[in-house]
Chain A
């Protein structure tokens, strides 16, 4: 998957629940007693390359879910009610920050006086300043976006971090959180942060601390005794790294692990269809993911609007989604190029008008000067309406998607070839260089911040800036929508931002700059021995509140 690198904003275990040992609800909504003590083993599909979260060796979703969210403080958590994601001040803050708007907005974070690091030292504004300095001025930083808009951090008052932005920035709530968190200045200042953190770290200001990380084997968390929120029920959480998908189910079946969070691959769905005795599952199709047919608008045949629209009318996207995910109850195609996570900030039904309609295909193609050849494929000026769909190698689900699209498009008069490459080549070279016609992959939001300007603003077209940077790999340029796309990034007023997002998505749909397919659902599996508020959070992952979980004997 490609990640729209909006910094993931997650909770360090929002400990605002007042549930007692006798009153917590189960994952199915029923009231269950959450026992204290015991160990929970989770089957983890991946592990991070390092735990220096701000460095380029980081960027692992599993690392973030397992060890970042559970150990580091942040300014904002993201709450999720099953439909809407919302920023809420984290346990590290005393309340909502004060914001002074203007050309150089000022944000004042008030720190909860109870908030301390695991050595008992209070979290202070100096931690904010140190974190900003490391990200904005450090080397080998994964992503400085947002922090490059901070003019200064004033730490004169230890209890108040006063952050001055150099310009309005709509995504300011991602700062001092996201995939990074806040770092302890008193422990890291003057030291080599990368060396101190890369192999795991002993400090914490979340419900858990890292007891051990044995690469390739497991990561073990134990309660942080200085955590000022609700204390963890479990004595220990072990994330065992089980990289083979088939083995994950074996591990769950025989009780070596009680929780799994597998990617929605075909074999996973087949296993779920077959049933998993003693386990409950939650399938969440409102995620931060959007799998789409991404079109290179600068390359034939997709430099023609009529062809792009014709392709959209050639595909029965609901049928594709039903074939892929029908087994877990997901049957409707996505109708926006933004994930459901930011549904309220764009038009989530913008592409709904594009359904299978071969008469419309004929009308559009003939209107654009194409005629059908004897082989049933459209031709124009001696060129066939042929294109390749590139994707990542070794992904059976994507291969099946390609094959279904190939069949459907052939019936509509398009000749499609399938060309799959290693993920590193595809995302590292082919897509940024624009050396493709159509790509099948997912974009992933790690914060409830729309990524549409990142993906479709002209300034982010790698061909149009000196650094050849940016993720507008589709080479989209919609002059009339540029202002709205930009406003999604800069507007501080939520209503103005949402209105601009809706208009922008409608423009993207009218021009079929790409074609959304599915939400790539999240699948969470847990044994019926696991009790507590088990739920998937598309931003923070499934383990953000694992301190509230328990295991029945």
Chain B
């Protein structure tokens, strides 16, 4: 398994180089970082100075080579937009996105697996139909729309309904002050996590239900029941473990992708995460930041895909990685 993991990671290096080059090329040829200076009366001078400072007149390959040379030494460059070290922008943003993902995925996993198992065990019952209908609603509902409606209803709507002076759930940021893991933090976290959870639960619970149904109809489950095992043991110990395998891979792949940012959730709830960082950097032609974002996001996708593969082996001993 170790050798397999190392081999997979080594194969990923050329992939990262190609991905970052394509991103660099597309950002440099699409967005001009000097464009915002066009409104200065001094635009010719200040834009020319910036072009020279950033080496924008060099061939793309030369510019990319400069970035790559620095990146392998751990220097992700300086943002052309904010003049900050890019690494000092990426890590805080990643921290905020990770908070959303950890809470969102934690809640979603519990709820989605619960709903999926329940719906499969009680197939064609009224609760199964209700959960099925709700999941379709969740899948069909645009997240930005849900976020705005939830903000209205659970923000000022709930506050007014309860006649409170202070909000029950906040709609901006992750904390009121410097914060910690306290009630204020949870009041800020609730709506963005709810927005994230509704989408994910709708999707994962369907996977869980269908894989659970498949497993429940297999011979070994029939055998387990025939041996007189209690239904809770059959479902919990024998069926669920196998039914989790495809769901785990979906969870791992989704997690890897989402480390790139939850653009809608972060924008609507004013959370400075990876998604907002990407959008702001892209529109400003800040290639260095976009590249760092690409690098970090790609690493997470690769690592989580690898984790998904490794999880197969752990959950299903029949799977051997080689």
Contact = CB atoms under 8 A, between A and B. Distances in A.
A531 B43 CA distance: 42
A467 B166 CA distance: 57
Q: Which of B39, B40, B83, B269 has the most CB of A within 10 A?
A: B39
B38 A247 contact: no
Given A216-B270, A250-B171, A254-B159, A143 B36 contact: no
A490 to B, nearest CB: 15
Interface stretch (A223-231, A351-359, A377-385, A419-427): A419-427
Interface stretch (A25-33, A53-61, A72-80, A324-332): A53-61
A49 interface: yes
A198 interface: yes
A144 B171 contact: no
B171 A247 contact: yes
A140 B83 CA distance: 11
Contacts of B148: 246-247, 250
B167 A428 contact: no
The interface centre, meaning the residue of B43, B155, B172, B270 with most chain A CB atoms within 10 A of its CB, is B172
Interface in B32-52: 32, 34-46, 48-50
Contacts of A2: 38-39
A478 interface: no
A256 B156 CA distance: 10
Given A143-B40, A198-B82, A424-B36, A247 B272 contact: no
Interface in B195-237: none
B35 A255 contact: no
Residue from A2, A49, A198 whose CB has the most chain B CB atoms within 10 Å: A49
Contact of B270 (A142, A198, A244): A244
Contacts of A458: none
B276 A59 contact: no
A406 to B, nearest CB: 27
Given A55-B83, A240-B173, A247-B172, A427 B38 contact: yes
A145 B41 contact: yes
Interface in A298-330: none
Nearest to B188: A256
Interface string A430-463: 0110000000000000000000001000000000
Interface residues of B, number: 49
B84 interface: yes
A487 B138 CA distance: 64
B304 interface: no
Interface string A411-425: 000000000001111
Contacts of B93: 216
Nearest to A240: B172
A253 interface: yes
A155 to B, nearest CB: 25
B26 interface: no
A515 interface: no
A57 B81 contact: yes
Interface string B267-309: 1111110001000000111000000000000000000000000
A301 B46 CA distance: 33
A253 B154 CA distance: 12
A88 interface: no
Given A139-B49, A243-B267, A5 B81 contact: no
Contact of A243 (B82, B167, B270): B270
A543 to B, nearest CB: 19
From A194, A218, A246, A254, name the one whose CB has the most chain B CB atoms within 10 angstroms: A254
Interface residues of A, number: 56
Contact of A143 (B34, B41, B167, B269): B41
A140 B172 contact: no
Nearest to A3: B39
Given A217-B272, A247-B270, A50 B82 contact: yes
Contact of A56 (B32, B50, B84, B271): B50
Given A198-B83, A199-B84, A56 B172 contact: no
Contacts of A470: 41, 44
Interface in B77-94: 81-84, 89, 92-93
Contacts of B45: 144, 467, 469
A139 B50 CA distance: 9
B39 A471 contact: yes
Given A5-B42, A217-B173, A429-B32, 18 more contacts: A2-B38, A4-B41, A5-B39, A52-B83, A57-B82, A59-B39, A143-B40, A217-B272, A247-B172, A247-B270, A250-B151, A254-B171, A255-B167, A256-B170, A257-B172, A424-B31, A424-B283, A471-B41
Interface of A: 2-6, 43, 49-50, 52, 55-57, 59, 139-145, 194, 198-199, 215-218, 240-244, 246-247, 250-251, 253-257, 422-425, 427-429, 431-432, 454, 467-471
18 contacts: A49-B284, A56-B46, A57-B82, A141-B46, A142-B42, A216-B271, A242-B172, A244-B270, A250-B171, A251-B172, A255-B167, A428-B32, A428-B37, A431-B38, A432-B43, A467-B45, A467-B48, A471-B43
